[in-house]
Structure 1
């Protein structure tokens, strides 16, 4: 088999690849922040005294974690539109990603919160700390610190999973790659470039999360604990 590699036509489309990578970064950033907030609220709700709220969160987590992200995005963008609920593609994509990663974040944060020993909470209360201070400084922040590596991996996986959204019309990196491939007919070169860009984005995200950990968790830096 004879194949002549030609990257010239593909690399000439670098503005499109840059545009697609930027869309991927924006989708991931919004979904990461909102998904973390949603997952944290749900993790807190799991410990609620209200059985109905616990059941609601458990149902949400099970429904999302046991169905594909692609099906969820199709349901939100195309399924809902069939009953008159329409939304822009970008909004629908972010919503699907937030709902998806929120369920996984809920389980990760729940494990972190449950890892806090009750004795630590009792000690803080004995020192006269307010309930909000106890929850923030003794429960929530230490819980995030303990599960931070898992959260980091989950959000990197979310960025990689954003490639699925090209199937619903999002012009992120894979969507742009498909467009360039249809114009140049250089499938190997196009998707090799896309592979490299995704790899670079993954390492960039890990570097950003490592720097955030140094800022929010100085104790780990002092002890030399891996971030």
Structure 2
């Protein structure tokens, strides 16, 4: 028995594919932005904070990095609405909002360790020189330590961002209508499972390639002397 590829039924539901693709892009951009902020704040807590700050940040990082994202997603999905209800707030987060929260928290833990490694690579002499100029701690962090730290770990950061985009497919289990969820709906309607997921895989590959190109362009603009910043 010969299997004949038929992409026609899949492309007939291109509206679902493009809507799912747009949702995936939106989820990725928001989660990457929020995760980067969370990770940078926690990295500073781990690198420069007191005992309490370091303990809180370390606990967060270890808890997230040593548990599966699916479990984290379910905890946020089923736990956060109950917590909000206990507070008496008339708010019921949508699956889309819950997905962004879970993705951001997950990414933040990994970004924390990457940025912390970058901060620890900065020579102590640079910090001491800034201190001698009477710069305030936040000025030293934002102007002296953070820019070169990000340059040193840019390749790892960009790789983690791409992995986060690909990992966003998991949120389909909580009924977020992103690309993988759209694929599930299409294959259930057309019964062309192989063709459907082949198209979706190609789209994910294209997104990853596009992100890689964008990060390389950013690196070329910020650090033109480091053409291999994105590995």
- Relative to the length of structure 1, the TM-score reads 0.92
Provide the residue aligned with 1:130 in structure 2.
Answer: 135
* Structure 2 residue 45 is the aligned partner of structure 1 residue 45: yes
What RMSD in Å do the two structures reach over aligned CA positions?
Answer: 1.6
Matches within 5 A, 1:35-114: 35-82=35-82, 84=85, 86-114=92-120
Partners of 1:223 and 1:49 lie apart in 2 by 31
Deviations along 1:124-164, one digit per CA (max 9) or x if unpaired, are 344x2623443223200000111011010101000010000
1:146 aligns with 2:152: yes
CA 1:25/1:2 → structure 2, altered by over 3 Å: closer, same or farther?
same
Where does the alignment leave 5 or more consecutive residues of structure 2 unmatched? 87-91
- Separation in 2, partners of 1:65, 1:107: 10
- The normalised TM-score by structure 2 is 0.91
Structure 1 window deviating more from structure 2 (202-211 vs 101-110): it is 202-211
Which segments of 5 or more consecutive residues in structure 1 lack a partner in the other structure? none
Aligned residues: 223
Structure 1 residues 52-90: Cα deviation after superposition (integer angstroms, max 9, x where no partner): 111111111011001111111111112344564642111
Whether 2:225 is the aligned partner of 1:222: answer: yes
Please list, as runs of the form range in 1=range in 2, the aligned pairs for 1:154-173 lying within 5 A after superposition.
154-173=160-179
The answer to whether the 8 Å contact 2:47/2:119 transfers is no
Aligned to 2:4: 4
Q: Counterparts of 1:214 and 1:52 in 2: how far apart (Å)?
A: 39
CA 1:97–1:148: 2 relative to 1, 3 Å? same
